[in-house]
Amino acid sequence: MTPRISEIWVYLSASPLLGLTVTLLAYQGAFWLYQRSGSNPLANPVLIAVTALVAFLTLTKTSYETYFSGAQFVHFLLGPATVALAIPLYTQFRRVRAMLLPVVFGLLAGSLTAVISAVLVGRFFGASQSTQLSLAPKSVTTPIAMGIAERIGGIPSLTAVLVIITGIIGAVGARYVFDAMKLRDPAIRGFAIGVASHGIGTARAFQVNEQSGAFAALAMGLNGALTALLVPIIADWLTGG
């Protein structure tokens, strides 16, 4: 690098402009690929964008903190977007009320399965105690999951990573699971995605169908609250502590 270019780089790498720009560019590229693939779930835009960004930041030796000083402006919008989920929920409310029974029992069964199976499978394959506790809240949205992990003695930052991976697995895998089950009802598909894989699953559901999206949003909110109540009660018993 000539001195001039490295000077520019020093300036750019310290300003939020770069982090924000590369986030939008990476997502735009990922979304383009996703659309080119015919909205194939394997071409999940979060997965592609995150992979590209991690590669870029590693190659340019940029720290995550520096990157986040710019990317936080995008991150911040998660709050208002979560609030905005009330609108599709309102639009679909008639259908939600008609499905009250399936919603209540689906939520209970799904929430318990998410927590218990994550801990038991982790334990069976030799995960440490603190890792098992970090796994327990992995199906709920990041802020709730981190709060739960902290309360039960897991590692909150590890939980945050596990939550993201869970979201991507659900967003990528759901269609294949439901097609294999011959399940077509967009409400049930959406609700199950929301219980299993929170906001990332909900984002995918919205790209497929508005009714799926509304049910996913509902499931995400309900499962967050239920898991927060449930996990502290059963965590000790589950991990054998």
Partner 1 sequence: MISALSALLVFQLIGEVLARSLDLPVPGPVLGMLLLFLALMLRGGPGAELRTTSQNLLQHLSLLFVPAGTGIMVHLHRVADEWLPLLLSLLVSTLATLVVTALTMKLCQRSPAPGEPS
Nearest distance in Å: CB 96, partner 1: 10
Based on its alpha-carbon atoms, the radius of gyration of the chain, rounded to whole angstroms, reads: 20
As given in the structure block, the two tokens for residue 79 are: 């709050």
Residues in contact with 36: Cβ distance below 8 Å, sequence separation at least 6, in sequence order = 43
Look at the block and give the residue holding tokens 């979201």: 167
Q: Which lies closer to partner 1 via its Cβ, residue 5 or residue 83?
A: 83
Nearest distance in Å: CB 107, partner 1: 8
Inter-residue contact 27 to 45 (CB < 8 Å)? yes
Q: From start to end of the chain, where are the E strands? A: none
Q: Which lies closer to partner 1 via its Cβ, residue 1 or residue 180?
A: 180
Nearest distance in Å: CB 29, partner 1: 11
Nearest distance in Å: CB 221, partner 1: 5
Q: Concatenate the DSSP letters of all residues of 30-63 into one string.
A: HHHHHHHTTS-GGG-HHHHHHHHHHHHHHHTT--
